[in-house]
Structure 1
């Protein structure tokens, strides 16, 4: 009996390896298929457009981290400190249920506050295919940056997603929210409180 068990062990390992290989193989194909579809997100070209407001040295809040991220749609990388505010950054991942729950509220905020406030996504530690699918499914259209190494969270000393960063016209961080999924009313309240802008909920 012991001899039979030892003989069957290599066969069991072979079957296990084959199943693992078989289940992992389709992943790149899915990524390739996604790459051929147009991105649902806006490009990032306009994020640094506009006159820079003078920075008041006495203003409260730290500047955005000195980081440069790639844009989901390609093009030139974006230096966070060059982004013209006021802005709300939504740091999210497709595998995070509260992130998926709040994404539609951020899309509505971007529509309601267009021309007065930028809404910018930062997709964190995610696959391109999963992020694009969520964007398509939830109708997310605002510009999307990519941060696979969680550099933004580390720079802000926050180990959480979703994470929402409120940035004023001078590029200073006024508030970082990690309380969980935000809805329309709470987003409007936070924008009013920290950026002084009124947005209908």
Structure 2
């Protein structure tokens, strides 16, 4: 039985449903802010855009501070493709800025409050099913998989054998973000001995995968094949790369869509511990 879809792929780009819901909610806030601003003859769209930028900056800054040792320079800090954000920090920064604006500019209070209420309401209504899904226990799927030597296996069997939390990466050799994050996984596989890493290739055969590993000089354990992309369908993960974090009881703890950095991988592992 398929899981609710958690991500979508648009050509080479992948987006989580959660990200798209946030974009939709902010667009609603902009529309409502523009309409109320016109009625009250006070523009608030620029304020909303500034609020968004400050919230993103705050969320990124706190995440980087928390994982400072995992970043090796300015380039990696500003590379937000790894999805390293602290949502609570972003929320607090955005709320603080909105309250400050309302205090300093009373004329913006009604249109700005209306826009934020509309955006929050939109997000709440649309995200409800997603949040309900997140709170529902989702065990390891028993999708049939194959090792590179042709042996049949599945994730529950591997989890039972290892007796440790599983980090499952869905990838393909044609996916640039997958290629960029592989060295991070290779290094973490050596360091985190209390975690079992599994690399499930989507839709390619043994020859393609072995050629890819040799070309990039990668030494990875637990490389498995999912020739029909069944695992991605079952977990609702249609975009690659996707990384699934399962605890020692085999329950899904967290999902990361898109490229991982060392910091975001460590963040996911910390939640398993």
CA distance in 1, matches of 2:251, 2:157: 11
| 1:105-146 superposed Cα distances (whole Å, 9 cap, x missing partner) | 1111110012x1101110111243332122122423211110
Match of 2:169 in 1: 90
Conserved? CA contact 2:205–2:225, under 8 Å:
no
TM-score (norm 2): 0.46
Match of 2:256 in 1: 177
Q: Give the SS at the match of 1:83.
A: helix
Q: How has the CA–CA distance of structure 1 residues 81 and 128 changed in structure 2, closer, same or farther, with 3 Å as cutoff?
A: same
Match of 2:141 in 1: 65
Match of 1:124 in 2: 202
Match of 1:148 in 2: 227
CA distance in 2, matches of 1:177, 1:127: 25
- Within 5 Å, give how 1:1-201 maps onto structure 2: 61-75=137-151, 77-84=152-159, 85-114=164-193, 116-136=194-214, 137-178=216-257, 180-193=258-271, 195-196=272-273
TM-score (norm 1): 0.62
Q: Give the SS at the match of 1:120.
A: strand
| 1:21-80 superposed Cα distances (whole Å, 9 cap, x missing partner) | xxxxxxxxxxxxxxxxxxxxxxxxxxxxxxxxxxxxxx96310112121111233x1122
Runs of 5+ in structure 1 lacking a partner? 1-58, 197-201
Runs of 5+ in structure 2 lacking a partner? 1-134
Q: Aligned pair count?
A: 134
Whose helix fraction is larger, Structure 1's or Structure 2's? 2
CA distance in 2, matches of 1:156, 1:120: 15
